[in-house]
A and B are shown apart, each in its own frame.
Chain A
Amino acid sequence: MSDMDQLLADMKQGVIDFDEDKVKAAAQAVVDEGYDAYTGILDGLAAGMEVVGELFDSQEYFVPEVLMCADALYAGLDILRPHVDMTGRETVRGEVVIGVVEGDVHDIGKNLVKMMFEVAGFTVHDLGSDVPVDEFVQKQIDTNSDIVALSAMMTTTMLGMKKAIATLREKNPDVKILIGGAPVTGEIADMFGADGYAENPTNAVSEAIKMVGALRRM
């Protein structure tokens, strides 16, 4: 019988080293041995991603490395998620609509934020990239999601978010709106009426990862 601490350490290190096989083997062992899958996700996979965030901030890792780490995380998440038992847990749950605004096809930041929501146990409605404003609005209405997360990588598409926020607010004043991407600053988030933001592509990556870390401590 494998020790849970060892499996957590393996998953963590596997994510850091982008070693999908190592992550899969450890995640499978968690399931087979009857350990808690949710602990595996948070203290194994997400813990690894938190270190990846530090490596990214210190410029040891760059976006390709982070993407490989995210693949390793997903390899474990796919195995563990069906076994998560949320009964009796007090944690953040909810539904989120996420996508990249029309005119923009850059989806890396969006995918990493999506990963953060998935790790946290949210139901994610991913609209993909190059998404017209109306689709965000319609999806939010259809799913009654708590959060809408909009991303734009380029200054040229950032203004699309302003329109999306105004339309979303009009239809549903209570929805939480997060915006992120290269040209987005706190000032712009305020100007557009968003509830939260990630500052730039680099920050979108590290902010998303930090959010994973914050969830672990909740």
Chain B
Amino acid sequence: MAMTSKERALSIIKGLPVDKVPAFSGFGNVIVAGLEKYDLRFAHVHLDAQEMADAASATHELAGTASVNVPFDMGVTAEALGATLNTYPHSQDILYPTLRDKYVHEAADIKMPSDWSSAGRVPVVAEAISKLKERYGNDVAVGSWVLGPFTLSGQSMDLNETLKTTLKEPAKAAELLAKFTEALIEESKVYIEAGADYMVLREMGATPDVLSPRSFKKLIKSYSEEILATWDLPKVYHICGGTDMIIEDMGALGADAVSVDQKNTIALSREKLGSEAVILGNVHPWEVFSQGTPEKIREAVAAAIPYVDAVWPGCDMWPDTPVENLKVWVEATEAMTPRRKA
């Protein structure tokens, strides 16, 4: 009997055999065509559970992608901790929400909610997960994610301050990261309880494009490890940018799979992590999926296939991505021979 696309997605993450490789990802996949399908405004889909669920579903419905993923913006945790969200309600363009009032300067400034299930938009995301779960049951995997604590500190504090603290006052940085870690553990519990089938920890700010591998080893990775250890479901660890220098560390944090973007040298990562590791990536969401021709997408998928367990975009799908391009991804991915064939 053929596996469901949910079984395939979760098996891929867990490194188990599949009959076919599904086209899915661990990030937001909301596209303009999906917003149009449900008559939604991008600025508002972050605020309403039904709209969020519809926007996430639409991509699957239109293109046949194999997961539905929420939330879409990176402000949920920082907002729950007291920052103010700007959704750009008046903009005619697709702008992702950002945060104002970055009031955190030290660990004591972090206002930890007493109940995470009712903090900020955490209940909106949780309800969207429940609705997706209701809609898709055992057929399509429902993915959710949280930022890593270092990336969250960049959302909650002035980024310059965050970065300099890692060098100037590592003890203070560690104290902040411990508090953010506590917050993320509590928040992710809510999403897991709401029914998320898999989780992604996105510690994108800790990329060697920004932070030294020394700092990653000394300061960042133990907190990522701590969060991953609390997740008892298929789990992925993701860092953006040129991750070659830390890929081995990324692979040893307790996640079932690592996800990398287009700046990672994927052949080298496969060599370093070995054939048993589950690697997801690493196609450019803008240059390939959004702007690419079908040929370019097929080429990029084909270039990744020898090294990855499933072809993931390196980040969120750019909302302008044409449905046709996503269909090419689905088709090309499903045509690949699974690394572990059921």
Residues of A within 8 A of B (CB): 59, 61-65, 67-68, 71, 102-108, 111, 130, 154-157, 159-160, 163, 183, 200-202
In the assembled complex, the Cα of A202 lies from the Cα of B166 at a distance in Å of 18
Interface contact B209-A103, CB-CB below 8 Å: no
Chain A residue nearest in CB terms to B319: A156
- Residues in B82-96 with C-beta less than 8 Å from chain A: 86, 88, 91, 93-96
Q: Could you tell me how many residues of chain B have their Cβ less than 8 Å away from some Cβ of chain A?
A: 30
Interface contact A157-B159, CB-CB below 8 Å: no
Interface contact B164-A64, CB-CB below 8 Å: yes
Contacts of A160 in B (CB 8 A): 93, 95
Q: Given the interface contacts A67-B160, A108-B159, A155-B286, does A62 sit within 8 Å of B211 by beta carbon?
A: yes
Contacts of A102 in B (CB 8 A): 88, 91, 95
Can you list the 3 inter-chain pairs with the closest CB atoms, starting with the nearest?
A: A103-B95, A64-B163, A62-B212
Interface contact A64-B98, CB-CB below 8 Å: no
Interface contact A68-B99, CB-CB below 8 Å: no
Interface contact B164-A67, CB-CB below 8 Å: yes
Interface contact A68-B286, CB-CB below 8 Å: no
Given A64-B210, A103-B93, A201-B210, 6 extra CB contacts under 8 A: A63-B163, A64-B167, A64-B212, A154-B96, A155-B285, A200-B209
In the assembled complex, the Cα of A103 lies from the Cα of B88 at a distance in Å of 8
In the assembled complex, the Cα of A130 lies from the Cα of B98 at a distance in Å of 9
Q: Given the interface contacts A102-B88, A201-B209, A202-B209, does A64 sit within 8 Å of B95 by beta carbon?
A: no
Interface contact A64-B215, CB-CB below 8 Å: yes
Asked whether any CB of chain A lies closer than 8 Å to the CB of B168, the reply is: yes
B334 CB, min distance to chain A CBs, angstroms: 26
Chain B residue nearest in CB terms to A106: B159
Contacts of B145 in A (CB 8 A): none
A62's partner among B91, B96, B168, B215 (CB-CB below 8 A) is: B215
In the assembled complex, the Cα of A161 lies from the Cα of B214 at a distance in Å of 35
Contacts of B93 in A (CB 8 A): 103, 159-160, 163
Asked whether any CB of chain A lies closer than 8 Å to the CB of B208, the reply is: yes
Contacts of B163 in A (CB 8 A): 63-64, 67, 108
Chain B residue nearest in CB terms to A156: B96
Interface contact A103-B211, CB-CB below 8 Å: no
Chain B residue nearest in CB terms to A154: B96
Asked whether any CB of chain A lies closer than 8 Å to the CB of B318, the reply is: yes
B60 CB, min distance to chain A CBs, angstroms: 21
Interface contact A63-B210, CB-CB below 8 Å: yes
Contacts of A67 in B (CB 8 A): 160, 163-164
In the assembled complex, the Cα of A100 lies from the Cα of B8 at a distance in Å of 42
Contacts of B316 in A (CB 8 A): 156
A64's partner among B88, B96, B211, B318 (CB-CB below 8 A) is: B211
Chain B residue nearest in CB terms to A155: B286
B158 CB, min distance to chain A CBs, angstroms: 9
Chain B residue nearest in CB terms to A153: B159
Interface contact B160-A111, CB-CB below 8 Å: yes
